[in-house]
Amino acid sequence: MHRLLSNFTKYRFLLKELVKKDIKLKYRNSILGIVWTLLEPLLTMIVLTIVFTVVLERERPSIDFPVYVLVGRLLYGFFSSGTRLALKSVRNHSSMIRKVYVPKYIYPLATSLSSFVTFLISLIVLVAVAAVRNIQPTFHLFEAVIPIVALLLLTTGVGLVLATLDVFFRDLEYLWGVIMMMIMYTSAIFYETDKFFTDGGWKMWLFKLNPLYAIITNFRNSIFGEAPDVFFTVYSLGFGVAAMLIGVILFYKKQDEFILYI
């Protein structure tokens, strides 16, 4: 444990450099640069709002649809980009791993953290849109910390698992793309799920068992001034911790074999 910590202190500069590199390179050669982090979710929100309220004419008096969509889009976006980047992180640094000793967990950790930083920056859009839509903040807003922590744990944990498996199975990227699509549709980003929950049928479980749905719901609750759902809080935090544990154990067990495959 002590060795692990002293090793981490030595390589904290590398972690910082890698996080910085991810963010810097993401928007290099684009005129608007980091502004895209704000513009992209905003434009997605506008498109989805127009499609669902103007074109499809689905009125939703109960909620503020733009904010509802934006929250879903931002949280899903972090999970999606964080896991996708982590998946490739070990193989992308193969030339480095083959030559110089560096604690290998640094690579997937850096991608999760860089996605997290981008996510935090993009929350500015949410603040702006919520202000424009006149959504009054309540003390429940502080409870948004719970889903954010759960999401960070979940993304990092799943990222570690994916980074490990991708070393051995190169086609994982495509498989994960399909799984992400399933996760997206059961996260209820641009539609409401009340109907399924009042029915109480099997379809309800599609959402209830998706930890990302639990996280997004709790985050929305905190924005709209409602208390967090107890089941979703316990479930998402538990899922996050479990994903993290599995990720760390799997990564540590397999990391010495990486060099033979990359």
Partner 1 sequence: MAQTVIKVENLGVRFNMSEQKVDDLKDFVIKKIKGKIKYKEFWALKDITFSVEKGERVGIVGLNGAGKSTLLKVIAGVLKATEGSVVTRGNVIPLLELGAGFDKQYTGAENIYLYGAVLGYSRQFMKSKFDEIVEFSELGDFINVPVKNYSSGMKARLGFSIATVTKADILILDEVLSVGDAKFKRKSEAKIKTLFEDGTTVLFVSHNLAQVKKLCDKALLIDHGRMIAYGNVEDIAAIYEERTGE
What is the CA 40 to chain-centroid distance, rounded? 16
With respect to partner 1, which residue has the nearer C-beta, 76 or 107? 107
d(CA 239, CA 97): 31
Instruction: Give the residue with the Cβ less far from partner 1, 20 or 60.
Output: 20
Closer residue to partner 1 in complex, CB, 10/60: 10
Q: What is the smallest separation between the CB atom of 253 and partner 1, expressed in angstroms?
A: 12
- Shortest distance, position 29 Cβ to partner 1, whole Å: 9
> Which tokens is 201 given?
């049928």
Which burial class, exposed, middle or buried, applies to 150 when counting CB atoms under 10 A from its CB (0-12, 13-18, 19+)? buried
The minimum distance between CB 53 and partner 1, in angstroms, equals: 40
Positions in the binding site for partner 1 (CB under 8 A) = 10-11, 13-14, 16-18, 21, 24-25, 28, 95-102, 168-172, 175, 256, 259-261
Straight-line distance from the first to the last Cα atom of the chain, in angstroms, rounded to the nearest whole number: 28
CB of 118 to partner 1, least distance (A): 17
Are 223 and 141 in contact by the 8 Å Cβ rule? The answer is yes
Specify the residue for token string 């860089």: 114
Q: Which is nearer to partner 1, 59 or 256 (CB)?
A: 256
